Amino acid sequence: MDKATSRIKKAIKNHEKILIYGDYDVDGVTASTLMEQALIFAGVNPDHITIMLPDRFADGYGMSPKLIKKAQAISATLVITVDCGSRNHEIVNELNELKIDTIVTDHHETDDEMPEAIAVINPHRKDAPTEALQNLAGVGVAFKLAQALVQNNLISPGQEKWLLDLVLIGTICDNMTLIGENRILGFYGLKVLTKTRRPGLKELMKLAGVKTLTSESIGFQIGPRLNAAGRLDTADIALNLLRSKSAPEAAALAAKLEGLNKKRKLEQNSATREIKNRGIGDDPVIIETGNWHEGILGIIAGRLVEEYHKPAFVLTNTTDGFYKGSGRSFGDFNLADALNFAKSSIISGGGHAAAAGVKVHQDNLFKFREQINEYYRSLKLADQERFLKVKPDLEVANLSDFSPDLLDDLKSLEPYGAGNEEPIFRLKNVEILENRKMGADGQHLRLDVKGKDGKILKLVAFYAPENWLRIEPSEQLDVTVKLIENEWNGTRSVEGRIVDIVL
């Protein structure tokens, strides 16, 4: 950190051109925006800063060779990465040969040897003095650099707090654990987001219908719209929205993101419906192929995991005779290990235990399917569905206990997320009064249920499993929910989002 702040101080003094290189997801876009604003706070001329984001389809994750040409074209003498760079040794070396320095800020796993950058700021370094910051998102690491600039008297104390709205959004959308430092950043980030000065976020929240700011509205309304840009078009749309200074420009960009998000929903619903209609077979690992947009494959795989309780790979047929895809898993089935087992049938692949990417030649597709399922069977895994079962925190008999006052109390524990889970309630033996399908394809569910005290509660489930949609009125079931607030014509009421139904 000391080396990074010293190098930035030198860049400010010498009026150097700086290239910020990010990533195409929400974490990368928020981190890029934050880094630019922090440098401007520190005294860098805004005209001396350029942000470059990779293209998901052409460049993939990490530092693209294209950034070398970009840095030369703008006469940059310093590159600062956010949310990437820890394993891009060759790119950093090429920049060094051109006398262009690099500062890496990242939160992904590192190799034993760091890139030959001026500084590599990453809480996962093997020589990191503490593990306390390992839950930081990329935007959280970028914020730590901003705090260091405050400590070095380059940013006025207190100014950096206005960056916390970005930290909150990036942290929640990157599914980081909300404990320790993230708990603090998230708590204050929620306060800042409520008063955000960014026209782009204001317009996006208005268009998305965000009435109450919670981790759920960030994760399910704000995040998907920001992510839709990198999935279906270019992440620059989301970046420009966050950087926008005028309401009219922000409104136009928000509308563009809204359109992309609707397109994303349509395409993923169409693909999921296509897979359902043809059936998934009996293999322990679902492997589905089709002609689908590359940017939505991971979402479809996740949906299949939720629906069928099996690990899933979803691949699309590319124009050059290959299949590219994403996998999602849970429990004891590690996708990275599975792809290593199947390395003789794939061109490339890798990732984490629960999420991975893969590229397969069309001639090897059958072999890939056989090897992945062979590996699963060899593990002899038992009762993997237990990892998907939801454990309620409290069993509730009287639905009248759910009041707006209780919602206010629960809000004081926000933001929720991994490590600070939102309370889950089991409604014991409630009577189903009405079951309604919602959405263009009838994929969402609305239930009215009655408790033992006669109180009626409205429940909703988005992308409900098929067996939930077939529930009959008058049935008595155990339903597990999270509480949500509904506001209509100035009246607040409590509703529930269905997490599980015991059938």
Return the pLDDT at 498: 96
pLDDT tens sequence across 233-243: 999 999 999 99
pLDDT of 49-65, one tens digit each?
Answer: 999 999 988 888 889 99
Nearest Cα neighbor of 420 from 155, 119, 180, 73 is 180
Query: So what CATH class is 279-387?
Result: alpha beta
In this prediction the pTM is 0.90
pLDDT, tens only, 163-187? 999 999 999 999 899 999 999 999 9
- Judge if the upstream peptide bond of residue 415 is cis by omega within 30 degrees of 0: yes
When pLDDT is cut at 50, 70 and 90, the band that residue 109 belongs to is confident
Q: Alpha helices of 152-246 — where are they, by DSSP H?
A: 164-173, 181-194, 199-208, 215-217, 223-232, 236-243
- pLDDT of 446 > 80? The answer is yes
Domain ranges of the chain: 2-160, 279-387, 394-502
pLDDT digits (tens, 9 = 90+) for 291-302: 999 999 999 999
Of the listed ranges 145-149, 269-273, 485-489, the least confidently predicted one is: 485-489
* Side-chain half-sphere exposure of 330, counting CA atoms within 13 A: 21
Q: For residues 403 and 420, what is the distance between their CA atoms, to the nearest angstrom?
A: 22
Alpha-carbon span 278 to 282, nearest angstrom: 13
3-state secondary structure of 384: helix
**Paired tokens of 494:** 């409590």
For 127, residues 6+ apart whose C-beta sits below 8 A from its C-beta are: none
- For the record, the structure tokens of 238 come out as 């989301």
Q: What is the pLDDT of residues 208-247, one digit of tens each?
A: 999 889 999 999 999 999 999 999 999 999 999 999 999 9
Of 3.90.1640.30, 3.20.20.60, 3.10.129.10, 3.90.79.10, the CATH number of 2-160 is 3.90.1640.30
User: What is the CATH number that goes with domain 394-502?
Assistant: 2.40.50.460
- Give pLDDT, residue 345: 97
pLDDT surpassing 80 at residue 348: yes
Name the pLDDT band for 424 (thresholds 50, 70, 90). very high
Q: What percent of the chain has pLDDT over 90?
A: 85
Sign of CA dihedral 372, 374, 379, 382: positive
Are the folds of 2-160 and 279-387 the same?
no
pLDDT band at 440 (very low <50, low <70, confident <90, very high): confident
Average pLDDT value over all residues in the chain: 94
Give the residues across from 484 on adjacent strands. 495
